[in-house]
Amino acid sequence: MKEIHYVMIKSMLVVSIGLTGCVNVAPWERGNLAKPQMALDPHPLQSEIQSHNYSSREAAPSHKSSTGGGGCGCY
């Protein structure tokens, strides 16, 4: 199981890094990418709530942890 994960993750990284060299989308072709629905996080206020609730109920590291944060959420 673990090995499959590693392979998946590594291959995703390799593919994505590889893509950087071959993709070419000109600035005038990026209209769709600029739409609000294409934002990496279209609803940040919701993400914040979800992240807080998941981290108080699950053992996975919070995906917001890189920006710092604290509190016990001990309930």
Partner 1 sequence: MPKHHGSYHSTSDLKESPIKPKKTLQALTSAALVLPGLLLTSAHAADKDRINFQYSRYQEGERNLFGVPNNLKPISADVLHGSGSLSLTDRTKFFYSYTQDTWSGATPITIAPLAANSNNPVLRDNPFGGTTIVGASPLINRTVQLDHDLNPLRQDPRTGQITGQDSRSVMVLSSASPETRNQGNFGLSREWNEAAVNVGGGFSMERDYKSSFGSIGGRLDFNQKLTSLKFGSGYTHSEIGAILDHDASPYITKTAYARQIERKGGSEILRGDRQDWTANIGLTQILTKSALVDVSVGYTHSNGFMENPYKVMSVIFIDPVALNNNLATPISGDMRALIEQRPNIRNQLAFNTKYIQYIAPFDAALHLNYKFTLDDWGVNTNTFDANWVQPFGNEWTFTPRIRYYSQDAASFYQPYLFSRQTVQMNKFDAGKLPDNFSSDHRLAGFGALSGGATLNRRLSKGVNLEAGFEYYTRASAMQIGGGGGNSFADFDYYVASAALKLDMEGVDTSRPGAGNSSHNQHSAAHHQHRIPPAGIMFGHMLDKPGDFMMGYRLMLGRADGHMMHGSHKVSDPVIVEQGCSDTSPCRFTPTYMNMRMHMLDIMYAPTKWWNVMLMPTFMDMDMNLRRLNKAPPPVPGVHEHQGIAGHETGAVGDTYFSSLIKLISIPGHRVHMNLGFSAPTGKVDIELRRMAKVDGGLIHFGMQLGSGTWDFMPSLTYTGEKNRWSWGAQVSGVKRLEEKNKSGYRLGDLAQATTWGGYDLTRWLIASVRGAYTWQGAVQRDFDSFNARIGPMDFPANYGGQFWDIGLGMSAVIPGGRFAGNRLGFEWIQPVRNDFNGYQLDRKGMLSATWSYRF
Contact positions vs partner 1 (CB under 8 A): 1-2, 5, 8-9, 12-13, 16-17, 19-20, 23-25, 27-46, 48-50, 52-54, 57-61, 63, 65-72, 74-75
CB of 22 to partner 1, least distance (A): 10
Cα(54)–Cα(60) distance, integer angstroms? 8
How many other C-beta atoms are found inside a 10 Å radius of the C-beta of residue 47? 13
CB 66 within 8 A of CB 58: no
CB of 21 to partner 1, least distance (A): 8
How many other C-beta atoms are found inside a 10 Å radius of the C-beta of residue 55? 18
CB of 64 to partner 1, least distance (A): 10
